[in-house]
Amino acid sequence: MHDLKSLAVAVDAGVWAQMSVIDAVRVWAHEMNAEKFNQGTLTDKFVWTYSVYMIAGFSKIGTKAWITRAVKDTGTWLRTAM
């Protein structure tokens, strides 16, 4: 579990553990690919990356295959974009 005080914005970790939020990000993760990520705006990329980080770090499903893949893919896409 991450320290909520270390984040630059106020966060309610409970929101990211709600199944409705997890399900929405899971659906998005199944649709996301490198092309869609690269075509997104800076805001799109931030929201995607933040959502993946929060689900991986603050929900209890951080080891599920889909979120593990999303974290790995996002890291690759960000490195490629630089």
* Domain range annotation of the chain: 15-81
Q: What does the pLDDT read at residue 1?
A: 45
Apex 82 CA angle, 76 and 47, nearest 5 = 65
Instruction: Read off the tokens for 50.
Output: 């933040």
Q: What does the pLDDT read at residue 4?
A: 53
Contacts of residue 47, Cβ cutoff 8 Å, sequence gap at least 6: none
Global pTM reads 0.81
Render each residue's pLDDT in the chain as its tens digit; 82 residues: 455 555 555 567 788 888 999 999 999 999 999 999 999 999 999 999 999 999 998 888 878 999 999 999 999 999 998 7
